[in-house]
Structure 1
Amino acid sequence: MSISFSQELLICTLVLLLVPLYFYIKSTSRSKNPAVLPRSWPIVGVMPSLLANLHNLHDYLTVVLAGSGHNFRANGPPGTGMRFFVTCDPENVRHIFTTNHANFPKGAEFAMIFDIMRGSFFTIDGEPCRRQRAKIQSVLSSPHLLARMTACCLDKVENGLLPVFNHMASIGTPFDMQGLITRFVFDLTATPVFGVDPGLLSPDMLPMDRAVAMDTVMEVAMFRHAVPASCWKMMRRLNIGPERKLAAAHTVLRGFITEMMERRKQENEPAAVGNEGAANSSSVDILSSYIDDPDYQDDGLLRATLINYMIAGRDTIGTTLPWVFYNLAQNPRVVALIRNELSPIASRKAAAAATGAASNMVVFEPEETRPLAYMKAALYESLRLYPPGPIERKTVVADDVMPSGHEVHAGDTLFISLHSIGRMEGVWGKDCLEYNPDRWLSEDGQKLRYVPSHKFLAFNSGPRMCLGKDIALMQMKTVVAAVVWNFDVELVQGQTIEPKPSCILQMKNGLMLKIKKREM
């Protein structure tokens, strides 16, 4: 939709008003705690406060929500339609995601914000969403695909990740764990999607432009959430600011999808010429489930769906694992307890293994780590404090009343702060800011306590509960078990660890660690 001259004039006027307010609030917010509620300024509403705190938005929202009873309202400039209700109240979350979920879809503006995935499962609601969800459930429940994903994970850990760690341990040089995990998880996600390994985690250490492009999608999406739609649309039209960067990222991602589809076609051709069994064996990938599906013959929808799979798989695991190792590096007691769980398994494997292995490192099978309650608790505790998707956005279809008593009106935008839910004393107790896996365990420590999804929202809740949850946990446990058993990890002192302004909770400056091979 084109922007009229009057709309452009309004936007320019708002920008002139916003700029001085933005810098004023930014300068004052560095030295003072935020007020209980963001200040609503004449004409421009809360936009200056939001923009001034965009660099640490999730912590800012946590402070505000803690001081306002877990809920607050905010408005943007008049005429922009920016009417927000922000919550971290678990009862409100249950109402939004489960009890009355049909009244709170993602909405059309959400689909515009994530336009690279428009039409795919991530951006749609209602019956189209249910159909695509059923398709994903069918794809991800395939025993052949699950076996391939498991084999891919084990291979990538044993022959990709551990050798790199072994090298880093031998030279004693600090390295960026987040950057390395990004490479690992990009390959881990793309290989079962396309049936082809992109090779980011390889001896050549190929450029990370594709992974960076995915990061850009999430960073610019955060900016789009925070400003009026007319503002970012004008920037897109003029190809300036974050929109210029996003356009370049879209080009990279679409080129990546085209390249991977072509590589898959080429690598499958020899098998197809040979025998039917070989061809079928080589086609155990997600793309094969879609490429001949009549519902996905539209090239744009197929590409959006493949990007959806890449972002969903990469961002959950790739964002969580660095925070897991950040927490483990500071909690040697937790590391010791995980090793205690792994020790009987490692002993059995050592007794059964052939001697003279080149690396003498242990890799744990998913079946071996599945019953380990403490390791899972350690992962859940990281997910509680550092959810990979720290914020959710919904739209109100019809007027409603939240369980908290707050009224919401048709057209309002709801923001649910997952980051804040995990840090509320009223939800998790006085030690809510501490990393403590024990909170997840039964009294005997043998199994996990039940925690409802509206309190622990890392894997979503209600009809949109994450279908890849078990796969993600399997992959993360495989990585954590191998690293924790074979290496000691040390946090490099003096670095600043904080999230970047993004729709995923990546570390702004990476995570510098030193690693040492364990003596066993």
Structure 2
Amino acid sequence: MDVFVIVAVLLFVAIHYWRLNRNTPITKWPFMGMLPGFLRNVSNFHDYTNSLLKQNGGTFIFEGAWLTNMNIVFTSDPLNVQHITSTSFENYGKGNEFTEIFEVLGDGIFRSDSHTWKYNRTLLHSIFKQESFKVFLHKTIEKKISSCLLMFLDHACKKGMQVDLQDVFQRLTFDNICCVVLGFDPACLSIDLPEISCEKAFTQAENTLFYRHVRPRFFWKLQKWLQVGEEKKFSENIKIIDQWLYSEIKSKRETQGHKQLDLLNTLTFEVGDGQNLIDDKFLRDTAINLLAAGRDTISSALTWFFWLVATHPFVEAKILEEVRENLSSREDNNWKDLGMEGLSKLIYLHGALCEALRLYPPIPFEHKSNLKSDVLPSGHVIKSNTMILYSLYSIGRVEEIWGEDCLEFKPERWVSKKGGTIHVPSYKFIAFNAGPRSRLGKDISFIELKMVAIAILLNYHIQVVEGHPIIPSLSVVLHMKHGLKINVKKRSF
């Protein structure tokens, strides 16, 4: 009898709370707060949070289970984003939550705040702006595209293979960024698609980082302490990555590679003295931050771009027309002839890439935490040390910014009537973040994106396998859950 009474009481409470919340976007339950609704929709996290933001005028406060300290402010309001990233920049840092979740990044540029962040940014900026580095970057990417990417796609054409283009791009960009940062080519992209332990470890570690966001902190910390489940895998993957990076650092010091232009070599022998001024941990932290940024963001952007282009043949035709016009009268359609200067003339291609980044930003949300209590432009009062997530995915879908056709893929929205590029403020087009923490590698990213896009589109026609599901993955990087399965055909001139 007691059991029936308990069940009846629980049903009464459940119905009572359902009735109280039936007209609200998300139910707040006793003890569990809003967590059940989030967990129920975690497989559709980005669109779910986007719908909540839209229903709440661009900002809502998520209240987690009791005693879990999981209260989070979600926002896609561009004025809030401008306030957080620029106007009140000094009050908004990464915060304790972020530094705990992303401990693997060490004291690198993406995890650090204050003086450490400023030092990292100044140092990397001084390297990125060097003309010799830009030339090295261009040649490295060009070589990898010619010797690996196009060779692999030629092989796929001859064999009539279905290809997971996302996997191809992850391998390509991992090889590229390893060459640029470490001066070492792991050769992930080759005909036989080998399994490379360090590349696999990067992918698996990303998954754990996402789940640290949606699980109570005490839960994943307990898993970490006990070394079980997801956290055990994470520790194993980080061990693989660290062993590899420290091995490369040791090799760099021993071989004294002064003439190499990779970032690790530059930091070791130009900034440091080859031995003591730059320690191994600083090199490791810098390397892992740049490897994560240069591999995952570029591969994600390329994957969504090619899916959008493949499903919008008119856009594909316009890109090809623009590229061929800039190749002048050359009949061989050699993508290399454009060079660095030619890339900047491809206005429509630039617009198509911006559209892909708007709709599917590689980093779908960003963390912040305020040092002092504050009032956002939206009117929300924020206590100190509150976790704030601004959704880059949702900002690209705000009708007030992009219009009623905001869900459509329209490169034309980036091209002015005079044929130039329309520039949108970074707090509205936020794929490269905004304010002082805007991505240093923005220009570098566009170079690689354009080179890969031109090389593939000029030589091949990409067709998405019919019925292949396109769903965002649950990760801190916006990959496709099931990859991008395509058939590839050689393009006739």
Q: TM-score, normalised by structure 2?
A: 0.91
What pairs with 1:103-182 in structure 2 (closer than 5 Å)? 103-182=91-170
**CA drift at 1:296:** 6.4
1:404 maps onto 2:381 in alignment: no
Indicate the residue corresponding to 2:267 in structure 1: 290
**CA drift at 1:157:** 1.1
Q: Secondary structure at the match of 1:123?
A: coil
Deviation by residue 1:144-170 (Cα, 9 ceiling, x = unmatched): 222111101111111111111122122
Indicate the residue corresponding to 1:318 in structure 2: 299
Indicate the residue corresponding to 1:304 in structure 2: 285
Instruction: Give percent identity, aligned residues only.
Output: 34
Q: Decide whether the 8 Å contact of 2:343 with 2:450 is kept in 1.
A: yes
Q: Give me the whole-angstrom Cα distance separating, in 2, the residues matched to 1:36 and 1:478.
A: 47
Q: Secondary structure at the match of 1:484?
A: helix
Seen in structure 2, the aligned counterparts of structure 1 residues 265 and 411 have a Cα distance that, compared at 3 Å, is closer
**CA drift at 1:260:** 3.1
Indicate the residue corresponding to 2:182 in structure 1: 194
Seen in structure 2, the aligned counterparts of structure 1 residues 487 and 418 have a Cα distance that, compared at 3 Å, is same
Indicate the residue corresponding to 1:11 in structure 2: none
Q: Decide whether the 8 Å contact of 1:117 with 1:304 is kept in 2.
A: yes
Q: Decide whether the 8 Å contact of 1:176 with 1:511 is kept in 2.
A: yes
Q: Give me the whole-angstrom Cα distance separating, in 2, the residues matched to 1:102 and 1:500.
A: 33
**CA drift at 1:108:** 2.0
What pairs with 1:346-495 in structure 2 (closer than 5 Å)? 346-350=327-331, 362-363=335-336, 364-444=338-418, 446-495=419-468
**CA drift at 1:302:** 2.2
Q: TM-score, normalised by structure 1?
A: 0.86
Q: Decide whether the 8 Å contact of 2:206 with 2:476 is kept in 1.
A: yes
Moved over 6 A (4+): none
Q: Give me the whole-angstrom Cα distance separating, in 1, the residues matched to 2:303 and 2:377.
A: 36
Indicate the residue corresponding to 1:6 in structure 2: none
Seen in structure 2, the aligned counterparts of structure 1 residues 409 and 206 have a Cα distance that, compared at 3 Å, is same
Q: Secondary structure at the match of 2:90?
A: helix
Q: For this pair of structures, how many residues does the alignment match?
A: 471
Q: Decide whether the 8 Å contact of 2:95 with 2:385 is kept in 1.
A: no
Q: Give me the whole-angstrom Cα distance separating, in 2, the residues matched to 1:136 and 1:112.
A: 24
**CA drift at 1:417:** 0.6
Q: Decide whether the 8 Å contact of 2:370 with 2:385 is kept in 1.
A: yes
Q: Give me the whole-angstrom Cα distance separating, in 2, the residues matched to 1:90 and 1:250.
A: 36
Q: Give me the whole-angstrom Cα distance separating, in 2, the residues matched to 1:382 and 1:405.
A: 32
Indicate the residue corresponding to 1:7 in structure 2: none
Deviation by residue 1:437-484 (Cα, 9 ceiling, x = unmatched): 11111123x111121100011001001011110000000000001111
Stretches of structure 2 that go unaligned for 5 or more consecutive residues are 1-9
Indicate the residue corresponding to 2:320 in structure 1: 339
Indicate the residue corresponding to 2:4 in structure 1: none
Q: Decide whether the 8 Å contact of 1:366 with 1:478 is kept in 2.
A: no
**CA drift at 1:121:** 1.1
What pairs with 1:176-255 in structure 2 (closer than 5 Å)? 176-255=164-243
Deviation by residue 1:176-231 (Cα, 9 ceiling, x = unmatched): 00001111000110101111211111345331432232222322111111223222
Q: Decide whether the 8 Å contact of 2:155 with 2:191 is kept in 1.
A: no
Q: Give me the whole-angstrom Cα distance separating, in 1, the residues matched to 2:218 and 2:176.
A: 38
Q: Decide whether the 8 Å contact of 2:249 with 2:283 is kept in 1.
A: no
**CA drift at 1:374:** 0.2
Question: Structure 2: which amino acid aligns with 1:320?
Answer: A
Question: Structure 1: which amino acid aligns with 2:376?
Answer: M
Indicate the residue corresponding to 1:511 in structure 2: 484
Q: Secondary structure at the match of 1:489?
A: strand
Q: Give me the whole-angstrom Cα distance separating, in 2, the residues matched to 1:244 and 1:51.
A: 22
Question: Structure 2: which amino acid aligns with 1:338?
Answer: I
Q: Give me the whole-angstrom Cα distance separating, in 2, the residues matched to 1:208 and 1:484.
A: 28
Seen in structure 2, the aligned counterparts of structure 1 residues 296 and 92 have a Cα distance that, compared at 3 Å, is farther
Q: Decide whether the 8 Å contact of 1:36 with 1:68 is kept in 2.
A: no
Stretches of structure 1 that go unaligned for 5 or more consecutive residues are 1-19, 29-33, 273-278, 354-359
Q: Secondary structure at the match of 1:302?
A: helix
Q: Give me the whole-angstrom Cα distance separating, in 2, the residues matched to 1:46 and 1:329.
A: 39
Question: Structure 1: which amino acid aligns with 2:170?
Answer: T
Deviation by residue 1:239-271 (Cα, 9 ceiling, x = unmatched): 1221112111101211221343355567xx4xx
Q: Secondary structure at the match of 1:252?
A: helix
Deviation by residue 1:287-311 (Cα, 9 ceiling, x = unmatched): 0232255696443332121111100
1:499 maps onto 2:472 in alignment: yes
Question: Structure 2: which amino acid aligns with 1:316?
Answer: T
Seen in structure 2, the aligned counterparts of structure 1 residues 263 and 176 have a Cα distance that, compared at 3 Å, is farther
Seen in structure 2, the aligned counterparts of structure 1 residues 173 and 160 have a Cα distance that, compared at 3 Å, is same
Question: Structure 1: which amino acid aligns with 2:421?
Answer: L
